[in-house]
Structure 1
Amino acid sequence: MKYGSLILEKKEYVYLKRILNISGYAENHEIQKCLLALFEELKSAHIVDEEDIPKDVIRFNSIVKVAFNNGIEKTVQLVIPMDKDVKNNKISVLTPMGSALIGYSEGDSIIWDFPNGIQQITIAKVQQQETYSGMDIII
């Protein structure tokens, strides 16, 4: 891990903790397992101010290119749950892939227990989009 722990911006961290606390409704055990793993990772996360977050850290609205061990690459945008749009590759932070990515940075490799088994993914590229403008309202 490039920075030694997950890195999250303060407001996004508070928002994420809140939605994880109410996400016990997850539709299946495998998704709940991924969210629990994220919850555990948050305990040692480094929480920073907006101006201190490195540009290559995955946060809400980041566009991320991931490479799987089997050679497949996929580009997704990590979004808050209400903005998910699978057809446009916008994945919610409450999905197995979203929960695996948040707080990691470009170049990191992640071993994650996805619903179809443990896989290693590498973060090939991170591009930042404007952060969610309604974050203050949601919090």
Structure 2
Amino acid sequence: MKYGQLILEKKEFVYLKRILNLSGYSKDIETKKSLQKLTQELHDAEIVDHERMPEDVVRFNSHVTVAQDEWQKTIQVVVPQHKNFKENKISILTPMGSALIGYALGDSIIWEFPNGTKELRIVNVEQEHNYSGLDIVI
């Protein structure tokens, strides 16, 4: 892990904790496991102000390219209400979204997905240029 722990922006951390508490976790067992693992990882996360967020850390609205063996895909990690599979926008509450949040460019992540345990590499992270923190009311 590039920074030794997850790094989250303060407002995003508060929002994420709130939606994890409200979601009651999913009825889907694999999604539930992912959200429980994310909740555990949040205990040791470094929480920083927006101005101190590294540019290469996956956060809300980040465009992330992940790779596994011969497979590579670019997705955007978004809040649940903005998910759109056709536009490759995945919710933070999905196994992929919860696996990526807080990790950085170059990190490898071993995560339990519905089709088994996979190792993903983060090969690119791009931030929204007009994004200056969580654009929702907390």
Superposition TM-score tier, normalisation by shorter sequence: over 0.9
Aligned residue for 1:43? 43
Distance in 1 (alpha carbons) for counterparts of 2:25 and 2:105: 31
For the Cα contact (< 8 Å) 1:81–1:94, is it kept in 2? yes
What residue identity is the alignment partner of 1:38? L
How far residue 71 of structure 1 moved from its aligned partner, in angstroms, is 1.2
**AA at the equivalent of 1:42:** L
Aligned to 2:55: 55
Are the aligned partners of 1:61 and 1:132 in contact in 2 as well (CA < 8 Å)? no
Distance 2:25 2:42 in 1: 20
Share of identical aligned residues, percent? 58
What secondary structure does 1:75 align onto?
A: strand
Give the corresponding residue for 2:65. Answer: 65
State TM-score, norm by structure 2: 0.95
- Gap regions ≥5 residues in structure 2: none
1:24-57 CA-partner distances (Å, limit 9, x unpaired): 2513111101000000000000000000010000
**How far apart are the structure 2 equivalents of 1:82 and 1:132?**
17
Name segments (4+ residues, structure 1) moved above 3 Å.
none
Instruction: Note if contact 1:111-1:120 (Cα within 8 Å) is conserved in structure 2.
Output: yes
Number of equivalences: 136
Correspondences of 1:1-139 after superposition (within 5 Å): 1-68=1-68, 70-129=69-128, 130-131=131-132, 134-135=135-136, 137=137, 139=138
Q: Distance in 2 between matches of 1:48 and 1:132?
A: 12
CA RMSD of aligned residues (A): 1.1
Distance in 2 (CA, whole Å) between partners of 1:32 and 1:89 is: 22
Task: Kindly indicate whether the alpha-carbon contact (under 8 Å) linking 1:61 and 1:131 is maintained by their aligned counterparts in 2.
Answer: no
1:131–1:118 CA distance, 2 compared to 1 (3 A): farther
Structure 1 residues 82-107: Cα deviation after superposition (integer angstroms, max 9, x where no partner): 00000000000000000000000000
SS at match of 1:59: coil
Distance in 1 between the 2:134 and 2:49 partners? 16
Evaluate the alpha carbon distance shift between residue 132 and residue 47 of structure 1 in structure 2; reply closer, same or farther with a 3 A threshold.
Answer: closer
Q: What is the TM-score normalised by the length of structure 1?
A: 0.94
